[in-house]
Amino acid sequence: MSSQSKNPQTRQWQELSQRHHLAPFSDYKQLSEQGPRIITKAEGVYLWDSEGEKILDGMAGLWCIAVGYGREELVEAASKQMRELPFYNTFFMTAHPPVLELAKTIAEIAPAGMNHVFFTGSGSEGNDTMLRLVRHYWACKGQPEKKVIISRLNGYHGSTVAGASLGGMKYMHEQGDLPIPGIVHIPQPYWFGEGGDMSPEEFGIWAADQLEQKILEAGADKVAAFIAEPIQGAGGVIIPPDSYWPRIREILAKYDILFVADEVICGFGRTGEWFGSDYYGNAPDLMTIAKGLTSGYVPMGGLIVSDKVFEVINEGGDFNHGFTYSGHPVAAAVALENIRILREEKIIEKVKAETAPYLQKRLRELADHPLVGEVRGVGMLGAIELVKNKQTRERFSGELAVGMVCRGHCFANGLVMRAVGDTMIIAPPLVISREEIDELVTKARLCLDLTARDVQG
Ligand SMILES: *Cc1c(COP(=O)(O)O)cnc(C)c1O
């Protein structure tokens, strides 16, 4: 465990971690040896750890914090609701004002024709709900054999059994005998990593056509839905070529297959529009939401359902599915306040018109760095590809986990930037200012320089 602690409590907390805490997505032995960094407070776009170090949070918590840390209005909304009605369920013919107000508010900001919301406690539960609701929909229509859901390799849809199965993370499938039956995967539209000699536009068409091929393989009368993130987040901020979504839309319409957008990251302003589907002009039948819905202050997720799907399940009798915390009143009150702030302070408009163009311009300046093969981004999302050879896109792979080296330097220099393999990714809070963007890019360049020094030995 880390030995140069200034604060003796750091050591004590790390010992508690070692003795009692099983952390998500962690190598327990490594975590015990190194000890976790203990984050103790936050304000705006900054975190502080137990050693008093100030860190610029380039990942918005975990893609969550839209309105920034330390918003008193959200604290007030939660405590007011806790005093009035801290909990009641929404099962068995009951409801409460916050859940109804929130459903109405989400319908106002969602794309046209998406007016119904099923609430969950997380994004994973939203996708589990999607799987059951989509199969229920086709059963109600007299086509119960339309069950297969097509998803993408290296997509991320959560960590429950259905979420991890829908996701295309091989290392997740390996644990627990996943995916479950009825879920199949197609290649991702990741030109930089997998495009080979094709142009991005050619590759976008090729990747979209994989959907048609999979539909024909499974049989169109067996395929219920296609699920995808507008921009893959956890997979490495993968932005499809411009040719991709129009072709996907054509294919889905041709074979009468439901389109599910997993908006858990892209939703609530991350792309400079309310939803990633708005950014691309997609018209999904269902959308999974979480993260930015409450800015992460309390857990909440959900599934937005179009009128087209609702009208069918409305005639379908009981939908035998739900969670104790579906529409939790405190989470609903916080989500309502979060959306009020996003709207009244015109945060998404500001992202689109000012801060995202500035972030994207500043980030692209890093493309001249000897280690950087590509810089890409949309809105408040960005990715920096680390390569051995800028021209050929050759990786360091095997020789050196260069992404982890870079992440280590960021960690030590007051910046949270995540490594997905050799891709560095950022998704700062939507309220990040120009000055803070300057600081982010300056720190990122410093860390790239330090990484290059290590790589050269
Ligand atoms: C985080 C995430 C999920 C899972 O949400 P949880 O709240 O962690 O269950 C699902 N889809 C996408 C795109 C995500 O980024």
For ligand 1, atom 11, name the residue with the nearest CA. 157
pTM value? 0.98
For ligand 1, atom 2, name the residue with the nearest CA. 158
Contacts of 301 (CB under 8 A, 6+ apart): 119, 120, 121, 122, 123, 124, 125, 126, 264, 288, 289, 290, 293
Residue 452 to residues 348, 372, 397, 415, Cα–Cα distance (Å): 36, 10, 15, 17
Q: Which atom of ligand 1 is nearest to the CA of 125?
A: 9
Q: Which atom of ligand 1 is nearest to the CA of 124?
A: 9
Q: Which atom of ligand 1 is nearest to the CA of 232?
A: 13
**Among all chains, which residue has been given the structure tokens 């539209």?**
189
Residue 248 main-chain phi, psi, to 5 deg: -60, -45
CA of residue 285 to ligand 1 center, whole Å: 19
Cα–Cα distance for residue pair 161/172, rounded to 1 Å: 10
CB burial string 195-230: b at 16+ within 10 A, e below: beeeebeebbbbbbebbbebbeeeeeeebbbbbbbb
Q: Which atom of ligand 1 is nearest to the CA of 263?
A: 13
For ligand 1, atom 3, name the residue with the nearest CA. 158
CA of residue 389 to ligand 1 center, whole Å: 33
Contacts of 320 (CB under 8 A, 6+ apart): none
Q: 124 near 161, Cβ under 8 Å?
A: no
Q: 127 near 162, Cβ under 8 Å?
A: yes
E strand map for 153-252: 183-186, 223-228
Q: List ligand 1's pocket residues with C-beta within 6 A.
A: 63, 122-124, 156-158, 229, 233-234, 262, 264-265, 290, 301
Contacts of 26 (CB under 8 A, 6+ apart): none
Residue from 156, 264, 268, 297 whose mutation best tests the ligand 1 pocket (most atoms within 8 A of CB): 264
pLDDT of the chain along its 457 residues, tens only? 445 788 999 999 999 999 999 999 999 999 999 999 999 999 999 999 999 999 999 999 999 999 999 999 999 999 999 999 999 999 999 999 999 999 999 999 999 999 999 999 999 999 999 999 999 999 999 999 999 999 999 999 999 999 999 999 999 999 989 999 999 999 999 999 999 999 999 999 999 999 999 999 999 999 999 999 999 999 999 999 999 999 999 999 999 999 999 999 999 999 999 999 999 999 999 999 999 999 999 999 999 999 999 999 999 999 999 999 999 999 999 999 999 999 999 999 999 999 999 999 999 999 999 999 999 999 999 999 999 999 899 998 777 899 999 999 999 999 999 999 999 999 999 999 999 999 999 999 999 999 999 988 6
CA of residue 42 to ligand 1 center, whole Å: 22
Q: What is the pLDDT of residue 388?
A: 94
Q: What is the pLDDT of residue 397?
A: 72
Q: Which atom of ligand 1 is nearest to the CA of 122?
A: 7
Task: Give the H or E element holding residue 115.
Answer: strand 114-120
Q: What is the pLDDT of residue 398?
A: 73
Cα–Cα distance for residue pair 184/166, rounded to 1 Å: 8
CA of residue 262 to ligand 1 center, whole Å: 8
Q: How many CB atoms lie within 10 A of CB 249?
A: 17
CA of residue 116 to ligand 1 center, whole Å: 20
Residue from 63, 260, 268, 291 whose mutation best tests the ligand 1 pocket (most atoms within 8 A of CB): 291
In terms of C-beta distances under 8 Å and separation of at least 24 residues, what long-range contacts does 387-392 make, across chains too? 387/422
Q: How many CB atoms lie within 10 A of CB 402?
A: 23
Residue 303 main-chain phi, psi, to 5 deg: -130, 120
